Structure 1
Amino acid sequence: MAANLTPQYYKAEAAFRHASTPRERLQALEEMLRVIPKHKGTDRIQGAIRSRLKELRAEVQSLGTRNSAHKSSRFPRQGCGTVVLIGAPNTGKSRILKEATNATPVVADYPYSTREPIPGLATVSGVQFQLIDTPAIAENVVPPALIDLVRTADLVACCLDGSSTETVRETLEVYRQLADRKTLLDCESGFAVDDFTTVRIRSLIAVTRGNLPSASSIANQWKDSSGLQLPIEIVGLDSPSDVERLKIRMFESLGLIRIFTKRPGEDVVMDSPMTIPVGGTVEDLAEKVHHEIASRLKFAKVWGSSAFDGQTVGRDHVLSDGDVVELH
């Protein structure tokens, strides 16, 4: 029987993956068990959740009050989502970070110039997302902190060097090293069925040095050799339009839409949208604005493609990208 998991379940699952402390993970896992549909198709998943809950409760109890403020080594999450750049040595990760954000990483022709993760903020249509460059992955060279970053990312951008004949083999090794650590590059994020030790992370392939004739051939070689149906973006990092296209592809891959809010009787400010997941509702937007607003929400007025201009809708109305919403 199919599991038929709900959006509420996937929201709780994402909160679990993004949690930075054992206590936060425990709360998210309890929410996953609360909202998961209860039928035979989810019996194994429910069992896995209960098993993990038992472990987490023991972990939280062992921390005690003295260590309840446990700190995570992860970067604070910024913007509407986190995109982690990974790849073999010299595949252009640092150059992407430099061109797409205001960060100033070391960009060098020699391998392993990136010694530790470096964050930056990329902007697309008034929305910011976090972009993190990471040290290179190679055979038996996998920085421990990198796995945690990848497993908690909203999106992974795996870089291939469009000028190198070795890049496909090296990137297959990157995939294998991650898979050996129960971290899989995939088309969607989530845990493997009834296995909360194996994580699937939504990913795309960025082929750098895309201005070279070899880039398209290398992209096809990767597709044939890997057997993975991941989206591929070929980008020339000397071209501002290519960099912008890559940023747009990253934002779209986060699975978010932009929503503009306005107060009754006032004009909308079109340079500061909020973001909610694709398929998100008026209630999701209200919750994003403030929990109290969501609890007191009576109705909303919407301008945009999901309604006729000024239409009065309820809290379960599904919004579209670019909608303007007035909460009442």
Structure 2
Amino acid sequence: MGPMSIEQQIRELEEEIKRTPYNKATEHHIGRLKAKLARLREEAEKQKAKAARQAFSLKKEGDATAVLIGYPSVGKSTLLNKLTGAKSEVADYDFTTLKPVPGILNYKGASIQIIDVPGIIEGAASGRGRGKEVISAVRVADLIIIVADVFNLHTIDIVKRELYEGGIRLDQKPPDVVIRKKERGGVRISSTVPLSIDEATITSVLKEYKIHSADVVIREDITIERLIDALAGNRVYIPSLTVVNKIDLMDVDVADAIKVSAEKGINLDLLKEQIYRKLEFIRVYLKPPGGKVDFSEPMILRRGATVEDICRKLHRDFVENFRYAKVWGKSVKFDGQRVGLEHVVEDGDIITIYA
């Protein structure tokens, strides 16, 4: 089957999903169609990925990386310059500019890398205007900042949709679904909450993903889309902020967005604070073996960080030669507890690493 026939199948499935009314009787049919569609899209992606070379990748620096993403000429470069003092060319990008421009925002002791990437437009996820490369590059970001301006509010939803199509889930937690494949015995589903979709639907979605025997444990009232996300395994879950720029030129009413003027410096402090909050930083303190804790120099990590992340930040040799760590603080049952690399630390912990 050539790429054309995959594209055709995709179009036919999209049409059929549009035509089919959604109700209890058609639910598992629709589930199967959606799963099939998701799988075909992944197939098409893989074929294209072989053809396309990765134009750029983001090099992560600092304690966290935030990416400015939006249509061209909504003022991302100016915003980057104002937040970080980076020297980004303030001109309308044309699509040949593929070098992301990074700057560093130092705020409350955290060094936050902010990267301005080339503008994306409608159709980006399917390859318009180099959008595919931009979207696949930003998958590594810790925070996505969607930038629109007062004259282009409609672009917010378009950008969100393109990111969604590119497998990026904003402000969602990964689906709480565990799938253990078995040799035989069919699909066994157990759930800890009442489910809105029925077992036949779940089973038919699994079948599309070639899973015929498995134990499935579901701990959230899952939608067909989230179930497919759990199976696809190539989704990333990233927090986001929405920023509306050029508020000095016109006032607009937008829910859940931070209104700023990069040009006039309006609300930039608010934006910095929100970026900092969204990144959920924690501070831990290092105590050398037999030495004293250095409280003046906390290590800044993000919530959910492990002892391994601490070792990596210090030097990669620490991971190779790691024996154990001792921790004092909220993450352990008792002070001085011995832990391994996978131990998750909490804000204010004190850690000694033995290598």
Shared fold (TM-score, shorter chain, > 0.5):
yes
Corresponding residue for residue 195 of structure 1: 232
Residues of 1 paired with 2:246 and 2:87: CA distance? 20
Match runs of 1:168-179 below 5 Å: 168-179=153-164
Distance 2:291 2:144 in 1: 42
Q: Which residue of 2 aligns with 1:223?
A: none
Aligned residues: 244
Match of 1:26 in 2: none
* Equivalent position of 2:137 in the other structure: 149
Structure 1 pair 260–239 and aligned structure 2 pair: CA distance change class (3 A): farther
- 1:75-120: per-residue Cα shift (whole Å, max 9, x none)? 3221233221111233221122101223111225x57599332122
Q: 1:132 aligns with which of 115, 121, 124?
A: 115
What is aligned with 1:258? 283
In structure 2, C-alpha distance between the alignment counterparts of 1:114 and 1:235, rounded to whole Å:
28
Q: 1:183 to 1:287 in 2, by over 3 A?
A: closer
Partner SS for 2:120 = coil
Q: Does the 8 Å CA contact 1:185/1:203 hold for their aligned counterparts?
A: no
- Whole-angstrom distance in 2 between the partners of 1:249 and 1:204: 8
- 1:4-57: CA deviations, max 9, x gaps? xxxxxxxxxxxxxxxxxxxxxxxxxxxxxxxxxxxxxxxxxxxx9xxx9xxx9x
Higher Rg of the two aligned structures: 2
Residues 235 and 324 of structure 1: CA distance in aligned 2, closer, same or farther (over 3 Å):
farther
Shift of 1:159: 0.8
What secondary structure is seen at the aligned counterpart in 1 of 2:285? strand
User: Which residue identity does 1:291 align to in structure 2?
Assistant: V
TM alignment of 1:83-94, pairs within 5 A: 83-94=66-77
Q: Aligned partners of 1:89 and 1:292: how far apart in 2?
A: 44
1:298 CA displacement:
5.0
RMSD value, Cα: 4.2
Which secondary structure does the structure 2 equivalent of 1:75 belong to?
coil
- CA distance in 1 between counterparts of 2:309 and 2:64 reads 16
Q: Give the SS at the match of 2:113.
A: strand
Q: Which AA in structure 2 matches 1:152?
A: V
Rounded to whole Å, the distance in 2 between the matches of 1:74 and 1:325 is: 33
For residues 282-326 of structure 1, the C-alpha deviation after alignment (integer angstroms, 9 at most, x for no partner) is 565356542156x32252345xx7689x94333277543344434
Q: 1:314 aligns with which of 338, 344, 347?
A: 338
| Runs of 5+ consecutive residues of structure 2 not aligned to the other structure | 1-37, 175-227
User: What one-letter code is carried by the residue in structure 2 that aligns with 1:187?
Assistant: D
Gaps of 5+ in 1: 1-47, 57-61, 63-69, 221-230
Match for 1:182: what amino acid? G
- Whole-angstrom CA distance in 2 between matches of 1:214 and 1:241: 12
Change (3 A) 1:209 1:258: farther
1:247 alignment partner, one of 262, 272, 288: 272
Change (3 A) 1:207 1:321: farther
Distance 1:182 1:249 in 2: 25
Give yes or no for contact 1:189–1:202 (8 Å, CA) kept in 2.
no
Task: Tell me which protein shows more helix as a share of its residues.
Answer: 1
Q: Residues 161-201 of structure 1, C-alpha deviation per residue, up to 9 Å, x if partnerless?
A: 1xx2x42223323334444x433451037692212455554
| Distance in 1 between residues matched to 2:113 and 2:119, nearest whole Å | 19
Q: TM-score, normalised by structure 1?
A: 0.58
Q: Give, as a single letter, the amino acid of the residue that structure 1 aligns with 2:336.
A: T
Structure 1 Cα separation of the partners of residues 129 and 238 of structure 2: 17
Q: 1:172 and 1:149 mapped to 2: Cα distance?
A: 20
Q: Against the structure 1 CA distance between its residues 192 and 199, is the aligned structure 2 distance closer, same or farther, given a 3 Å change threshold?
A: farther
Aligned twin of 1:299: 326
Match of 1:81 among 42, 64, 70: 64
Contact 2:327/2:349 (8 A) holds in 1: no
